[in-house]
């Protein structure tokens, strides 16, 4: 039975306006579905509702706009269907584009920050260890829980905004520390010194998601110098192939100084030994191209590219002098683009023919010039979703393989990892 | 499109429900996650469906080519599915389908699901269309899956008991056995 505070009750009864009452009805109804006994205060929200799915998307947000409702906690926005900084990139029908644009604007009118990124953890302010938050977007959820140690459930459309408007979320699931214990242990092989190790993280993520489903996983054996970007790739992939919302990388992530800490002293349900061959097998299954096949494009930055990844990309580009022989897209946020512009890196990349896409992503909306043919990526998430979403065929390789392939105009794989 | 061997039978079976002897009906109890009343033929989805990327809310058909019920329509049916899966954007697609009249009239699950529940709750709040959502125990789920029946769901209150009545018929859509 759900117990509400006096303030919760006031919100529900309409004392703070009809918009707040609607949001609170949604929070309490969902709390009841989750069998939560109380609501807790959340300190930030990340909203996945600005991607246009049809009239319901707009009807929901406009209801709050008309009521003059505002969000009451810092709230960031996930990608929309359009790149508002480069609107000319959009190649879809005009009517859908107009509705999608309104959906993004309407969220800003509610007081949300116009971040339009799937990687809100790369913005200036990010949640701290133990902070209770209400985030949507599967990769952001898994990053916030796993890498930052903040606490959120797998929130999605509607509840995310309702939490931002009320500042409340059901106290259940991963908000509760006991539920954050790992149940399945994965023993990773040592791939620390292999070239192009970025795709091993993504491949491991896909495997973890498939095996763990919605269970909390602990991973032992990851390289001790594992970077945030590598954890980002692992988490995004795990949240694509499964419903993973939290993994512990033992010795690396904040709730897992030891395996015993990750398990909270309990025995795991099971342990899965992963071999290098298993990871190569994941890669082979994701990849649908042979060496030498012509590419129409390379797409990087799913989830959105970080500054460190752009630095890596610039270093790789410095090894080649000629022109790119296929289109080259990198998805990132307008904030990271601004940082790149300050540093002069954006201009350098544009001069080399790189199209930076912001506010959206190449696999969810028609922005690439060519939507048929072979596109190469290093993202496990992009490789998982793009074929069904936009109809392209995927070549899957590391960032360095992607760059070399783009300069050759055809797929190139490093012998050592194929 | 997957059809059961019975799907070609005389659909007028469905109109004769009230004349059926009582012993041909079976009443089960489940947990209501949302309130509402619905009656319709069963659409049995043996595999979990992600509405995002898996259901066309305008055309009203399952578009996930890897799903055993690819091509199946859910409009006008009671959807019976063991559990849900996939992106949280599925809440939006389900709410949109309910708005468009291409979604199920009622839903029976074996495992409670937040994403399905959210879609149903929002459709109820925005459009006052109340789709009963019920979770049933394993054994009852099997009975519902196995029965050739019109299904009636009655959930008078959110978070109370739900009554699920199986009314003998031969109208099951999509033939796979749920696991």
Distance to chain A for B129, nearest Cα, Å: 13
Active site residue B145: no
B99/A56 CB distance under 8 A: yes
Question: What distance, in Å, lies between the first and last C-alpha atoms of chain A?
Answer: 55
- Could you give the CA distance from residue A299 to residue A104 in angstroms, rounded to a whole number? 24
Q: Which residue has the higher pLDDT, A398 or B17?
A: A398
Other residues' Cβ atoms within 10 Å of the Cβ of residue A57: 26
Structure tokens given for A216: 């909390």
CB–CB contact B159 A157 (8 Å):
no
- For residue B179, being part of any structural domain is answered with no
Test B114 with A26 for CB contact under 8 angstroms: no
Q: Which structure tokens are listed for A288?
A: 């649908």
Q: Which range of residues forms the domain containing residue B55? A: 24-168
Give pLDDT, residue B85. Answer: 79
Domain edges within chain A: 6-178, 181-284, 288-408
Specify if B104 maps to a domain. yes
Question: Would you state the structure tokens that stand for residue A413, as one six-digit string?
Answer: 């794989």
In a domain, B99, yes or no: yes
Between chain A and chain B, how many beta carbons pairs sit less than 8 Å apart? 89
Question: Which residue among B87, B124, B145, B154 is the active-site one?
Answer: B87
pLDDT band for position B136 (cuts 50, 70, 90)? very high
Of A26, A54, A57, which is closest to B121 when you measure between CB atoms?
A26
- Out of B34, B100, B122, the one facing A60 most closely (by C-beta) is B122
- Give the tens place of pLDDT for each residue, A166-181: 999 999 999 999 999 9
A30, A155, A389: residue with CB nearest B121? A30
Backbone angle region of A167, left / alpha / beta, with phi > 0 → left and psi within -120 to 50 → alpha: left
Alpha-carbon span A163 to A159, nearest angstrom: 6
Of B100, B118, B123, the CB nearest to A156: B118
Chain centroid to CA B105: how far?
A: 7
Q: What angle do CA A169, B120, B52 make, to 5 degrees?
A: 90
**B128 to chain A nearest CA, in Å?**
13
Q: What is the C-alpha separation between B179 and B176, in angstroms, rounded?
A: 9
Q: Is A155 on the interface with B (CB under 8 A)?
A: yes
Asked if A57 and B96 come within 8 Å (Cβ–Cβ), the reply is yes
User: From 3.40.50.300, 3.40.1160.10, 3.10.450.230, 3.30.499.10, which CATH number describes the A6-178 domain?
Assistant: 3.30.499.10
Instruction: Give the residue from chain B lying closest to A34, CA to CA.
Output: B114
Please tell me which residue of chain A has the smallest CA distance to B54: A388
Q: How confident is the model at residue B5 (pLDDT cuts 50, 70, 90)?
A: very low
Residues of B within 8 A of A159 (CB-CB) are 91, 114, 118
Quick one: pLDDT band at residue B175, thresholds 50, 70, 90? low
> For the segment A303-317, what is each residue's pLDDT rounded down to a tens digit?
999 999 999 999 999
Taking the C-alpha atoms of residue B47 and residue B64, their distance in angstroms, rounded to an integer, is 11
**Chain B residue numbers touching A389 (CB-CB < 8 A):** 53
Q: Which residues lie closer than 8 Å to A329 by C-beta, 6 or more apart? A: A297, A298, A299, A300, A301, A354, A355, A356, A357, A362, A367, A368
pTM to 2 decimals?
Answer: 0.90
Chain B positions touching A385 (Cβ under 8 A) are 53
Fold held by A288-408: Aconitase; domain 3 (3.30.499)
Interface contact B125-A157, CB threshold 8 A: no
Structure tokens at A68: 């003059």
Neighbours of A321 (CB within 10 A): 7
* Closest CB from A26, A29, A138 relative to B158: A29
Q: Is the dihedral of CA A140, A146, A149, A154 positive or negative?
A: positive
pLDDT tens for A175-199 read 999 999 999 999 999 999 888 899 9
Please give, rounded to a whole number of angstroms, the shortest distance from the CA of A186 to a CA of chain B. 22
In this predicted complex, what is the ipTM?
0.85
User: What is the number of structural domains in chain B?
Assistant: 1
Average pLDDT of chain A? Answer: 95
Average pLDDT value for chain B: 85
**Distance of alpha carbon A115 from alpha carbon A371, whole angstroms:** 26
Question: What is the domain-level CATH number for residue B110?
Answer: 3.50.30.10
């Amino acid at each position: 039975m759900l117990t509400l505070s006096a303030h919760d009750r006031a919100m529900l009864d309409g004392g703070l306006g009809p918009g707040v009452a609607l949001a609170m009805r949604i929070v309490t109804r969902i709390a009841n579905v989750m069998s939560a006994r109380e609501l807790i205060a959340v300190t930030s929200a990340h909203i996945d509702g600005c991607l246009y799915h049809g009239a319901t998307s707009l009807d929901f947000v406009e209801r709050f706009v008309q009521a003059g409702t505002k969000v009451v906690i810092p709230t960031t926005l996930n990608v929309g269907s359009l790149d508002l900084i480069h609107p000319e990139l959009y190649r879809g029908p005009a009517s859908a584009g107009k509705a999608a644009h309104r959906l993004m604007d309407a969220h800003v009118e509610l007081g949300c920050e116009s971040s339009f990124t799937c990687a809100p953890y790369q913005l200036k302010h990010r949640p701290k260890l133990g902070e209770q938050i209400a985030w949507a977007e599967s990769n952001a959820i898994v990053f916030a829980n796993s890498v930052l140690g903040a606490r959120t459930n797998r929130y999605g459309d509607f509840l995310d905004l309702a939490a931002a408007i009320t500042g409340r979320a059901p106290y259940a699931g991963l908000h509760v520390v006991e539920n954050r214990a790992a149940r399945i242990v994965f023993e990773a092989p040592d791939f620390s010194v292999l070239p192009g190790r970025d795709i091993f993280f993504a491949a491991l993520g896909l495997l973890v998601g498939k095996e763990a489903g919605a269970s909390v996983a602990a991973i032992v054996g990851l390289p001790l110098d594992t970077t945030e970007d590598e954890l980002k790739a692992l988490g995004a992939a795990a949240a694509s192939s499964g419903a993973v919302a939290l993994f512990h990388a033992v010795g690396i992530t904040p709730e897992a100084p030891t395996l015993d800490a990750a398990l909270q002293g309990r025995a795991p349900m099971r342990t899965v030994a992963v071999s290098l061959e298993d990871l190569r097998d994941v890669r082979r299954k994701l990849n649908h191209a042979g060496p030498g096949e012509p590419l129409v494009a390379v797409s990087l930055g799913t989830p959105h590219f970080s500054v460190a990844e752009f630095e890596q990309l610039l270093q790789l580009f410095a090894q080649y002098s000629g022109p790119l022989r296929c289109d080259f897209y990198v998805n990132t946020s307008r904030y990271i683009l601004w940082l790149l512009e300050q540093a002069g890196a954006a201009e350098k990349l544009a001069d080399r023919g790189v199209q930076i896409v912001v506010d959206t992503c190449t696999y969810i909306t028609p922005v690439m010039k060519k939507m048929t043919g072979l596109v190469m990526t290093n993202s496990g998430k992009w490789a998982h979703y793009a074929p069904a979403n936009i109809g392209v065929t995927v070549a899957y390789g590391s960032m360095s393989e992607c760059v070399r392939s783009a300069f050759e105009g055809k797929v190139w794989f490093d012998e050592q990892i194929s | 499109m997957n059809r059961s061997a019975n799907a070609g039978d005389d659909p007028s079976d469905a109109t004769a429900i009230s004349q059926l002897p009582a012993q041909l009906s079976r009443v089960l109890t489940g947990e209501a996650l949302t309130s509402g009343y619905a009656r319709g033929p069963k659409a049995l989805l043996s595999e979990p469906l992600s509405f995002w990327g898996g259901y066309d809310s305008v055309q009203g058909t399952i578009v996930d080519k890897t799903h055993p019920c690819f091509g199946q329509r859910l409009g006008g049916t009671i959807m019976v599915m063991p559990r849900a899966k996939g992106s949280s954007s599925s809440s939006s697609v389900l709410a949109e389908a309910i708005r468009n009249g291409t979604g199920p009239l009622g839903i029976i699950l074996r495992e409670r699901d937040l994403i399905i529940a959210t879609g149903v709750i929002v459709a109820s709040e925005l459009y006052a269309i109340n789709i009963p959502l019920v979770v049933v125990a394993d054994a009852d789920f099997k009975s519902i899956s196995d029965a050739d029946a019109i299904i009636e769901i009655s959930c008078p209150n959110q978070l109370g008991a739900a009554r699920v009545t199986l009314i003998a018929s031969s109208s099951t859509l999509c033939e796979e056995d749920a696991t």
